[in-house]
Structure 1
Amino acid sequence: MYKKILVAIDLTEEAPQVLEKAARLREAHESTLVLTHVVEPVGYAYGGDIPMDLTELQDQLGKAAKDQLAAYGNQYNVAADQQIVTVGRPESEIHRLAKELDIDLIVVGSHGRSGFQLLLGSTANGVLHGAVCDVLAARIT
């Protein structure tokens, strides 16, 4: 029985596919959904070698993510206090939230990669390894 389900979405046009599956699980298990999106630090994209303050850009990305997550929260009836935007490495932050919030199931999207693509890594693969609870990788079509 899954009482608390963490739904980690990337806020792309594919997010509703993951949310729909999580919503069905919520109904089947009478669970609470917690939505999360992890914003990667802007410095990661540039290797941290940019000699300028990226704080304002990071704040703008965080605000945009909160707004989009709130829209999904409204659409899928997830309370505002169950919508979390955090900054960091997605796998690490999802693992941290799962522990802190006593999550029973993590739901993430997966593009169904195989072979070398899977070995190169994906967020879903990273979440699977090291998770303290069950993980459902919802296939995105």
Structure 2
Amino acid sequence: MSNEYTHVLVAVDLTKDSNKVLERAIPIAERNHAKLSVMHTLEPLGFAYGGDIPMDLTSIQDQLDEHAKQRLAEIADPHGILSENQHVVVGMPDTEIHRFAAEHDVDLIVVGSHGRHGFALLLGSTSTGVLHGAQCDVLAVRVGKDGEVDE
């Protein structure tokens, strides 16, 4: 296999399934001598509540951001992924993944996918959005199968 990939981006949701997704991406990056970045996207609180809450959510968003950074480090650090290659961004997940991939010359995006029935549910909303808008290869790693326990 030639060095097809030079930069692999792993998009994780910070659940237990994140380790499975990362563990599938690491050998691909190693075989290709590719840079490995891992990211998590937080949706803005204003999107979640539709702007109906008459208060400043900045401090809560900051706390969520800090918690996400800590959780991402817990997932990435044991695999030797340096902090400068760990990214937490705020926005819509598929949009932010596409933006990051374009800005950082990513040529493979790895995401988790829940195995559901029907094409619309095949990948899930985030992974479907990533797949449809990506300008590079996308690997969907099946996660969360019934009866499967990840530690």
Amino acid of the structure 1 residue aligned with 2:55: M
Amino acid of the structure 2 residue aligned with 1:46: Y
1:44 alignment partner in structure 2? 47
**2:42 matches 1:34:** no
Note the aligned Cα RMSD (angstroms). 1.6
Amino acid of the structure 2 residue aligned with 1:78: I
2:138 alignment partner in structure 1? 135
What per-residue deviation string (whole Å, max 9, x for no partner) do you get for residues 97-127 of structure 1? 0000000100000002231752895110000
2:115 alignment partner in structure 1? 112
Compared CA separation, residues 117 and 37, structure 1 to 2 (3 A): same
Query: Are the aligned partners of 2:41 and 2:89 in contact in 1 as well (CA < 8 Å)?
Result: yes
Query: Are the aligned partners of 2:115 and 2:123 in contact in 1 as well (CA < 8 Å)?
Result: no
Which among 119, 125, 128 is matched to residue 125 of structure 1? 128
1:86 alignment partner in structure 2? 89
Runs of 4+ in 1 over 3 A off after TM superposition: none
Q: Taking every aligned residue pair, what percent have the same amino acid on both sides? A: 55
Give the secondary structure class of the aligned counterpart of 2:89.
Answer: strand
Unaligned runs of 5+ in 1: none
Of 43-52 and 117-126, the range deviating more from structure 2: 117-126
Unaligned runs of 5+ in 2: 146-151
* TM-score after normalising by structure 2: 0.88
Query: Are the aligned partners of 2:40 and 2:72 in contact in 1 as well (CA < 8 Å)?
Result: yes
Compared CA separation, residues 113 and 19, structure 1 to 2 (3 A): same
CA distance in 1: counterparts of 2:47 and 2:123, whole angstroms: 18
**2:28 matches 1:7:** no
* TM-score after normalising by structure 1: 0.94
